[in-house]
Amino acid sequence: MDFSLSAEQQMIRNLCREFAEEEIKPRAEEMDRTGAFPYEIIKQMADLGLLGLPFPEEYGGAGADFLSYCLALEEIGRGDASVGITMEAHTSLGATPFYLYGTTEQKERYLAPLAQGKQLWSFGLTEPGAGSDSGGTETRAELRDGVWHVNGAKNFITNAGTDMTGGVTITAVTGVRDDGRKEITNIIIPKDTPGYIIGNPYHKMGWRASDTRPLSFEDCQVPEENVLGAQGTGFHQFMHILTLGRIAIAALSVGLAQACYDESLKYARERQQFNRPIATFQAIQFKLADMAMEIELARLMYYKAAWHHMQGEPFTKEASMAKLYASETAKRAADQAVQIHGGYGFMDEYPVSRYWRNVKAHEIGEGTSEVQRQIIAKHL
């Protein structure tokens, strides 16, 4: 057993840590307050190769391994959760489907500009009536004379409407399977397709500078070749994409938990009450000790899930455990961070109030905590 990171993994982690510290963290409060999408930061990240980390160099990616990508997410998420989720949704949900299931032509056409960070891409699975029950898709795609006619609606779609967005890959019902269930296929829809309607951004509790919108499709027509992989394999594809994405969300959650810990330790050493720093009170020390311990465990859990994936071994249970534990660790860390800051923690002048709002989405996106527990239970 070897817990050490390779020289390349350390290099990517350090680069992202420095970038987050210098370029992201100082702008995080303003991004949260204004909700403005961080185009400038995303451009800088593209220039550093951070938007295509786990993809091969032949498609403009950085050729890094999956753990390196997760290490990068942890550090970017430590700087700011909105920037972190923008990177994660683009890479794990937007670009990875092209990498795993695209034809050579689709990889050249769609994956390359995404891996180079020239465009963002989104993944449209969730619908008004199909959330945790993601197979409950109502959006339909009908193939007529070599053209897919898409009708339906998606909601809560990340990166769906930025100026850099190239389009969305959606799940759609394309028929009925032999067993009577819906046949689901993934269809690629570029943003400029007539009938692709981008809704207004949601007003969110957290992740405010990330782009989240509803989308709808009104007789949106794309050519037959815009199918991703084989017709009818959409359900299998997105299940795998989400499982991989859960390791990435775990890494983001560890980054957020770490940020909570960093701020809490600093504040506890500075804040004086009863003529001593509050860090000298055992009650505060125990909170910090619990945070440090849980963060370490959550980090090891996402490392291990990533490692299983990189070995080509099953990792579904490990990914769900990592996502569940890391997001709940971040939730507890954010809660204790506000507590350690007392009344000041309730004020937006301190970053911990933002962390407390941001963390909630980690327990919901890419499968709620309840869904993760169901998946784990199925593997027992």
Ligand X SMILES: Cc1cc2nc3c(=O)[nH]c(=O)nc-3n(C[C@H](O)[C@H](O)[C@H](O)COP(=O)(O)OP(=O)(O)OC[C@H]3O[C@@H](n4cnc5c(N)ncnc54)[C@H](O)[C@@H]3O)c2cc1C
Is 366 part of the annotated catalytic residue set?
yes
Site for ligand X, residues 206 to 235, rule: CB under 6 A: 207, 212
- Output the smallest distance, CB 380 to ligand X, in A: 16
Among 370, 377, 378, 379, binds ligand X (CB under 6 A): 370
Half-sphere exposure for 364 (CA within 13 Å, toward CB): 12
Backbone angles phi, psi at 199, to 5 degrees: -80, 175
Nearer to ligand X, 65 or 366 (CB): 366
- Selecting among 88, 318, 328, 366, the annotated active-site residue is 366
d(CA 75, CA 134): 30
Q: Does 300 bind ligand X (CB under 6 A)?
A: no
Collect all residues with Cβ–Cβ distance below 8 Å to 77 and sequence separation of at least 6: 83, 84, 85, 251, 252, 253, 254, 255, 256, 259
Site for ligand X, residues 82 to 141, rule: CB under 6 A: 89, 93, 122-126, 131-132
Residue whose Cβ sits closest to ligand X: 131
d(CA 68, CA 55): 11
Closest CA to 94 of 299, 220, 244, 224: 244
∠ at Cα 357 (84, 75), nearest 5°?
A: 25
Nearer to ligand X, 76 or 89 (CB): 89
Span of 100-108, 152-160, 328-336, 340-348 interacting with ligand X by CB under 6 A = 152-160
Please provide the DSSP assignment of 78-94 as one string. HH-HHHHHHHHIIIIII
Nearer to ligand X, 16 or 157 (CB): 157
Pick left, alpha or beta for residue 145 (phi over 0 → left; psi -120 to 50 → alpha; otherwise beta). Answer: left
d(CA 137, CA 310): 31
Nearer to ligand X, 131 or 195 (CB): 131
List the x/- string, 171-210, binding to ligand X by CB under 6 A: ------------------------------------x---
Span of 139-147, 278-286, 341-349, 358-366 interacting with ligand X by CB under 6 A = 358-366
Angle between helices 351-358 and 316-345 (to 10 degrees): 140
Nearer to ligand X, 63 or 131 (CB): 131
Angle between helices 282-310 and 316-345 (to 10 degrees): 150
Q: Does 368 bind ligand X (CB under 6 A)?
A: yes
List the x/- string, 29-48, binding to ligand X by CB under 6 A: --------------------
Q: Does 364 bind ligand X (CB under 6 A)?
A: yes
Span of 174-182, 184-192, 243-251, 362-370 interacting with ligand X by CB under 6 A = 362-370
Q: Are 301 and 250 in contact (CB under 8 A)?
A: yes
Nearer to ligand X, 44 or 368 (CB): 368
- Output the smallest distance, CB 213 to ligand X, in A: 9
Give me the residues that bind ligand X (CB under 6 A), please.
89, 93, 122-126, 131-132, 156-158, 207, 212, 361, 364-368, 370-371
Active-site residue set: 366
